[in-house]
Amino acid sequence: MTNPLLETWHTPFGVPPFDRIEDAHFAPAMEAALAQGRAAVAAIADNPAPPSFANTIEALELADALLDRVAGVFYNLSGADANPARDALQRDLAPMLSAYASEITNNAALFARIDALWTARDSLGLNAEQMRVLYLTHRSFTRSGAALEGAARDRLTAVKSRLAVLGTAFTQNLLADERDWFMQLSEADLDGLPEFVISAAREAGREKGQPGPVVTLSRSLIVPFLQFSPRRDLREKAYRAWAARGMTGGATDNRDITAEVLALRAERAGLLGYPSFAAYKLETEMAGNPQAVRDLLMAVWAPARAQAEADAVKLTAMLHADGINGALEPWDWRYYSEKRRLAEHDLDEAELKPYFQLDAMIAAAFDCAKRLFGLEFRPLDVALYHADARAWEVTRGGAHVAVFIGDYFARGSKRSGAWCSAIRSQMKLGGDVRPVVVNVCNFAKGAPALLSYDDARTLFHEFGHALHQMLSDVTYGSISGTSVARDFVELPSQLYEHWLSVPEVLERHARHAVTGAPMPPAVLARLLAAQTYDMGFQTVEYVASAMVDLEFHDGPAPADPMAAEAATLARIGMPRAIGMRHATPHFAHVFSGDGYSAGYYSYMWSEVMDADAFAAFEEAGGPFDADTAQRLERFILSAGGSAEADHLYTAFRGRMPGVAALLKGRGLDRAA
């Protein structure tokens, strides 16, 4: 059988030939890629020539070329368009890929070559980027246990393999819970809902094969339902199901998985000589240590909690005015907050949403990228993995820069949330390789598709990540694009969100879906004035999740994570009417893999910088200042991981910022 994954792709710009790739192709392609990788690594380790940067580090950079290509296709599909065959293969691959990674880091001959180069680094004549890659490679091997021997090395290999299996199981359990639950709505249940919510519920019903509208656990549907439904009983039912993902008591329950993951992470850190997993994880981040993270979170927590508690008093009064006795509950907050926003800011989401058409917001993101960085976007007619996905060629000055794929609509085969990934990353070693970048979101379908303001901000956020990938300009793939410290990676994405709120951008692109008229100036003014509305709630739900994540990993692993979660929330004084943004059993950032473990704080760490970075544009004369945009590209977007994050930011801004900019940006600088 011809396997397109193992062939040269004669497609436009080397986009994977999705129309020829079948699920049956992945397993043999992975086997071939692993075999090729093992042969390449063995050739490096057993090379009789003395180690050099070229025959060891650069050769290692290229060793997994086929594996990177096959995995780039498979893991994008498994997240954005899962099916039983892909789920099964993902479960099989997790321990295989973990074992392969351990084989490399446990290869004593290979590590000896790397260690010899590191020892002799000052005499090798390396440029700054090469020195950085050597440093990161040596550090990665030592942090992966390359210096361990005997039983300790074997146990670390087993721990990492088990963690890979558990992360896959966690993700698939969560996807199953989100895919399988829905709440049917009668026509009477639609009373009080704006048309865009009704349309989304009907579309969700069709997608689920139901005769009428339904509410699903997709954030793009359940959040507006909680905002607008006057039926408190239905809000409670939907909220409880949303909060219960991963802890339904059946085969998809994630609670035992979280306990085992935390225990194994603590053991892994101990084997490597660290006092806690958080200490191990944060060593390579800008924060550096758990206490620095705790200090940041608590500096924001106090004013955010004070603001949230003051808001809760007002919302509770509205609840009681509706004749409902008792306390404000988590399923009440969004409903009464929306009513309060309408009363205080004269902003109605149903009125706003027609101005945020999906296609118009895509055009807005593209337009800002053109004005800032000279990028052009041309629709690309290529076969993709799903009918919802679409592609563009990205050029600058007529030269090809990247392929950008957007996959924007929610569906049962797609995991929740929004993310950016690269099917192929930029690099220059072995040829000028240009990236293929994917943005995945979960917006509700409609005709036309309408976004909330938060949805539009999500689109800009993920496109900021895409720019980090597309504008990358480094030699080595290991430091390309978003291959940076976790608490720095969100800077480009969160910074790009600021351009959505630039008045001239909204005036140009926020046009009514029916009339084509621009957003009225009075509405625009009210929208911008209300940007920090309900920020106490938003900050509390985020910081609570970040604190729980940190406490999970900064010390001995808790035997009962749910009890530990409750204890942390009680200690910091979590308001009773606000839930964590991500409760433990569905905290995919932390438990689907190591990416954001002990690192969920990183969004806020980056926000300290993004508020300050956008101020650089304002200080220079406006949001599209050419010189500031050039510095942003030179020192951050194109630089990847070629230097330490604080050095890159300081090169762009001239200094590091403080937390004051963040508090001001969130409107919490005046909180009691």
Residues identified as active-site: 462
* CA 588 to chain CA mean position, Å: 10
Specify whether the CB–CB gap between 630 and 670 falls below 8 A.
no
* CA 406 to chain CA mean position, Å: 15
Q: How far apart are CA 294 and CA 468, in angstroms?
A: 28
Nearest to 467 by CA among 377, 398, 361: 377
Q: Indicate the residue type of 70.
A: V
SS3 147: coil
DSSP strand pairing (375-380 vs 214-216) = unpaired
Specify whether the CB–CB gap between 280 and 272 falls below 8 A.
yes
Q: How far apart are CA 269 and CA 267, in angstroms?
A: 5
SS3 425: coil
As given in the structure block, the two tokens for residue 475 are 């030699």
Q: How far apart are CA 490 and CA 609, in angstroms?
A: 10
Nearest to 227 by CA among 416, 411, 355, 353: 353
CA-based angle 497:197:231, to the nearest 5? 115
SS3 442: strand
Where in 290-435 does DSSP place strands (E)? 375-380, 390-396, 399-409, 419-424
DSSP strand pairing (436-443 vs 399-409) = parallel
- Give Cβ neighbours of residue 625 (< 8 Å, ≥ 6 apart): 617
As given in the structure block, the two tokens for residue 144 are 């992966």
**Side-chain half-sphere of 672: how many Cα atoms within 13 Å?**
6
Q: Indicate the residue type of 489.
A: V
Q: How far apart are CA 612 and CA 609, in angstroms?
A: 5
Q: How far apart are CA 145 and CA 268, in angstroms?
A: 9
Nearest to 588 by CA among 76, 79, 49, 43: 79
